[in-house]
Amino acid sequence: MIFIQRLKKSFGDNKVLKGIDLEIEKGQVVVLIGPSGSGKTTFLRCLNVLEVPDEGKIAIGGQTMDFSKKVHPKAIAEFRRLTGMVFQGYNLFPHMTSLGNVMEGPVTVKKESREEAAAKAEYFLAKVGLGDKLEAYPFQLSGGQQQRVGIARALAMEPNVMLFDEPTSALDPELVGDVLKVMKDLAEEGMTMIVVTHEMRFAREVADKVIFMDGGVIVESGAPDKLFTKPEKERTKQFLSMIQ
Ligand code: ADP
């Protein structure tokens, strides 16, 4: 369902992604781990085309972007709709209610009617356990609740793939569980997900595949059981020994 070929991205002289190849099947949950600065966030942002890769191809659900050619902003905007991004810092509009935040994309980008978008927003907010917070503003919500609004907002665009960039790392520890539970439920429903996280328990329990990135390349990947207990590469062993 997702094919990524030779994906490269530099910022000036800093070669951040040095040729990423990856295939993900529909319904798979892939967890990306690796040291800070290894390119995990940049990789997710490239998939969402918040950063435009320098080279390589991404295909999602039959649509392909070839970044070795010049890509039109309109094509980028369309391709972006295939992925829903959940950010570490929630990025909600502070002056809008939960309902308003979740409706915004469907109304402005997908040109849905307000009635249709509101009904859908209600559905997705209920799904993330916030059916009673439709009219609350972000400042009236806990970090965990705000992040669940962020998840509902991404779901409301009905993407093929959900991308999560350290979704729980800004949260107080007691709020992490609710967000992970929502993500686990989504995974069980068959959502295709790519998750950057430090939550190794989540990776062990939910991931179909764990990918260890370092220095802008995929060093090693495999089923969580295998990667966590019998890593093959020295760099993977070193990293795991530091975090476990
Ligand atoms: P990770 O998510 O694994 O911590 P990042 O993708 O955030 O890694 O960062 C990888 C490298 O890319 C870092 O050296 C970072 O400074 C650099 N980088 C990321 N985004 C930008 C940007 N917008 N402009 C310049 N450098 C960036």
Provide φ and ψ at 164, rounded to 5°. Answer: -120, 120
Residue nearest to atom 13 of ligand 1 (CA): 37
- Measured in Å, residue 144 CA sits from the centre of ligand 1 at 25
Phi-psi region of 190 (alpha: psi -120 to 50; beta: other; left: phi over 0): left
Tokens of 75: 């094509």
Residue nearest to atom 16 of ligand 1 (CA): 37
Q: What are 123-156's pLDDT values in tens digits?
A: 999 999 999 999 999 999 999 999 999 999 999 9
What letter would DSSP give residue 113? Answer: -
- Measured in Å, residue 55 CA sits from the centre of ligand 1 at 17
- Measured in Å, residue 16 CA sits from the centre of ligand 1 at 7
What letter would DSSP give residue 230? Answer: S
- On the question of pLDDT at 15 being above 90, the answer is yes
Sorted by sequence, the CB contacts under 8 Å of residue 186 that are 6+ apart come out as: 151, 155, 162, 193
Residue 36 Cα: closest atom of ligand 1: 4
Predicted confidence at residue 16, as pLDDT, reads 97
Does the predicted interface ipTM exceed a cut of 0.90?
A: yes
Residue 38 Cα: closest atom of ligand 1: 3
Residue 42 Cα: closest atom of ligand 1: 6
Mean pLDDT of 34-55: 96
Mean pLDDT for all residues in the chain: 96
* More confident: 90 or 165: 165
Provide φ and ψ at 133, rounded to 5°. Answer: -125, 25
Q: What are 180-228's pLDDT values in tens digits?
A: 999 999 999 999 999 999 999 999 999 999 999 999 999 999 999 999 9
Predicted confidence at residue 90, as pLDDT, reads 85
Residue written as token pair 């990856």:
22
Residue 216 Cα: closest atom of ligand 1: 10
- On the question of pLDDT at 244 being above 80, the answer is no
223 class by beta-carbon count within 10 Å (0-12 exposed, 13-18 middle, 19+ buried): exposed
> Percent of the chain, pLDDT > 70?
100
d(CA 136, CA 80): 28
pLDDT bucket at 165, cuts 50 / 70 / 90: very high
The C-alpha R_g of the chain, in whole angstroms, comes to: 18
- Measured in Å, residue 88 CA sits from the centre of ligand 1 at 14
Predicted confidence at residue 243, as pLDDT, reads 84
Q: How would DSSP label each residue in 20-33? A: EEEEE-TT-EEEEE
Mean pLDDT of 4-19: 97
Phi-psi region of 12 (alpha: psi -120 to 50; beta: other; left: phi over 0): left
- On the question of pLDDT at 95 being above 90, the answer is yes
pLDDT bucket at 36, cuts 50 / 70 / 90: very high
- State if pTM tops 0.90: yes
Query: Which residues line ligand 1 at a C-beta cut-off of 6 Å?
Result: 11, 14, 16, 34, 36-42
> Percent of the chain, pLDDT > 90?
95
